[in-house]
């Protein structure tokens, strides 16, 4: 049996999809993705330090006030259990954010397949792929930096050098990573646990401060100082992280990401095609409007429409289910412990039934303002 030989003509084309920054074999890849340096982890170390900073004072407060003064061993154990349960949940969601890929655009099976030489017949048929690429570019579903298709709601992160499914934002405080489809649930879970723990510490410490003012001779001198520190520290963390959590709750209920909420120009990707001059719908052309070349009235109209058009808002129940929903039995346990990941594949999303009508009206308004200008 003769061995199989290579074709006479072959074109060595490599997969345009880049490797991810978080891959295990980052050291021996040949792509120019940004690498994480040691200073990228300084904000994460500082965040962990701030998370652990109040615990020594909190333990001293529980022992000095709850155990020795109140003489309530049960209350001491309850406070201890609640505090460190929330701390465990907080760190479990943080570990998920750090360890999990936020949203790989390519499927794992495609990454495992080794690149092979293209035969002559495949090279001659490459024109069809070029046509598909041009259609993807015209529809705004092509990433020019990755040279690969960009799924719906995905965005290219310049810091990570890759596209991320359901890109929310790039967080320097959490390991210099993106928050995407597979980590958004854990991120909201993390914010919730930090907020609840801060509020719990504030209530506990403030009660100790009130007791110290009412009974100055019944308590030692250092415990009120620790209680004051925990009250102000917990209040600041609760206000900062709590406000951030409430903002993400609003985004989750309305089915938006931070990037989508702060970027009105994204609506230009979803405008319906322009009608053809001859009236033939087959000759319709996609809108070529660019945010940089819009006039001031057009930008104002786009910003006003951005506050009303919610492309993926399908009702708050279904919106929350996309983030915290689960398919497996007892999947709520994973959501309770570490938040888990989002529901679905991260590529296709149900659309708001009124979005197409509103986008058509926006396209007409932008066209009219362009003609007037």
**322 is a domain residue:** no
**134 is a domain residue:** yes
Q: What is the pLDDT of residue 277?
A: 56
Residues 90, 176 share a domain: yes
Read off φ and ψ for residue 164, nearest 5 degrees.
-130, 130
Residues 225, 187 share a domain: yes
Residues 158, 42 share a domain: no
Final residue of a domain: which of 234, 253, 272?
253
**365 is a domain residue:** no
Final residue of a domain: which of 233, 253, 273?
253
Residues 85, 203 share a domain: yes
Residues 72, 170 share a domain: yes
**211 is a domain residue:** yes
Report CA torsion sign: 16, 20, 24, 26.
Answer: positive
Instruction: Give the SS3 label for residue 98.
Output: helix
Residues 238, 176 share a domain: yes
**136 is a domain residue:** yes
Residues 93, 141 share a domain: no
Final residue of a domain: which of 230, 253, 276?
253
Q: And the tokens for 7?
A: 């074709």
Instruction: Give the SS3 label for residue 113.
Output: coil
Q: How many domains does the chain have?
A: 2
Distance between start and end Cα atoms, the chain: 74
**246 is a domain residue:** yes
Average pLDDT across each block of 10 residues of the chain; the chain has 373 residues. List them in order: 45 42 37 75 96 95 88 90 96 96 72 43 47 49 84 91 94 94 95 97 94 88 93 97 97 95 89 64 57 84 91 93 85 88 88 91 85 73
3-state secondary structure 259-297: HHHHCHHHHHHHCCCECCCCCCHHHCECCCCCHHHCCHH
Residues 182, 133 share a domain: no
Domain that holds residue 147: 129-162
- Global confidence as pTM: 0.82
């Amino acid at each position: 049996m003769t061995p199989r030989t290579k074709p006479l003509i072959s074109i060595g084309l490599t997969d345009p999809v880049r490797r991810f920054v978080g891959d295990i074999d980052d050291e021996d890849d040949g792509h120019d993705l940004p690498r994480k340096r040691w200073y990228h982890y300084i904000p994460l170390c500082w965040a962990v330090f701030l998370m652990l900073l109040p615990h020594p004072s909190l333990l001293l407060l529980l022992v000095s006030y709850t155990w020795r003064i109140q003489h309530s061993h049960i209350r001491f154990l309850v406070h201890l259990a609640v505090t460190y349960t929330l701390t465990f949940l907080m760190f479990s969601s943080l570990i998920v954010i750090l360890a999990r890929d936020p949203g790989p655009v390519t499927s794992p099976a495609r990454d495992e397949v080794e690149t092979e030489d293209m035969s002559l017949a495949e090279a001659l048929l490459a024109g069809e792929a070029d046509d598909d690429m041009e259609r993807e570019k015209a529809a705004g579903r092509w990433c020019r930096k990755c040279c690969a298709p960009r799924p719906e709601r995905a965005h290219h992160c310049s810091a990570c050098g890759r596209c991320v499914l359901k890109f929310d934002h790039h967080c320097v405080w959490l390991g210099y990573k993106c928050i995407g489809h597979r980590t958004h649930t854990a991120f909201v879970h993390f914010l919730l646990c930090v907020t609840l723990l801060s509020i719990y510490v504030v209530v506990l410490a403030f009660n100790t401060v009130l007791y110290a003012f009412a009974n100055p001779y019944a308590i030692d001198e250092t415990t009120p100082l620790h209680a004051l520190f925990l009250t102000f520290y917990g209040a600041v963390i609760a206000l900062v992280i709590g406000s951030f959590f409430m903002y993400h709750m609003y985004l989750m209920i309305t089915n938006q990401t931070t990037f989508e909420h702060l970027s009105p120009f994204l609506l230009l990707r979803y405008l319906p095609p322009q009608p053809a001059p001859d009236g033939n719908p087959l000759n319709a052309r996609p809108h070529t409007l660019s945010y940089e070349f819009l006039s001031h009235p057009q930008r104002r109209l786009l910003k006003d429409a951005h506050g009303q058009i919610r492309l993926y808002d399908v009702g708050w129940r279904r919106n929350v289910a996309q983030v915290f929903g689960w398919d497996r039995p007892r999947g709520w346990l994973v959501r309770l412990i570490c938040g888990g990941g989002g529901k679905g594949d991260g590529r296709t999303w149900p659309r708001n039934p009124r979005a197409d009508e509103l986008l058509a009206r926006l396209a007409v308004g932008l066209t009219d303002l362009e003609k007037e200008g």
